[in-house]
Amino acid sequence: MSRIVLVIDPAGAVPASVVVQIARVSGTALSETKRAFLSGEPVLDLALFDRKDPLGTTRILGLLRALEEREIRYRARELTDDMAYDANANHFEIDAITLENMIDAHRVSLSYQCTIGWLEDPE
């Protein structure tokens, strides 16, 4: 399974409302989110398309859009479960448009799987 890791540029100004939104989406305490933000560490590390939280990926997309609308510099990366976050690496970076495309592709895939399942066993 893949996950999203998000780091906010600590050099920029981030409104308190955005820090609160990050804490809500990430499910971490506000104090922990602030500490991670100020130290340049990941403020969010969440699974993509998690069956336990089916709307989680949509909330991440909303957060990335909010960051982009406010021109807050961030780095979001898609990593697999066995990959460690590396601040110096620049591969697997994604933005709101990329994540939106991933969500759309996931929906199409699920729809196709449902259709195939129905064709194989229509009852």
Tens-place pLDDT, residues 30-49 = 999 999 999 999 999 999 88
Across the beta sheet with 2-8, what order do the strands follow? 44-47, 2-8, 74-80, 93-94
From 48, 51, 45, select the one nearest 101 (Cα to Cα). 48
Asked whether the beta carbons of 45 and 32 are under 8 A apart, the reply is no
Other CB atoms closer than 10 Å to residue 10's CB: what's the count?
14
Tokens matching residue 116 = 């195939």
Side chain identity at residue 118, one-letter code: W
The pTM score is 0.83
Domain ranges of the chain: 2-120
Q: What percent of the chain has pLDDT over 70?
A: 94
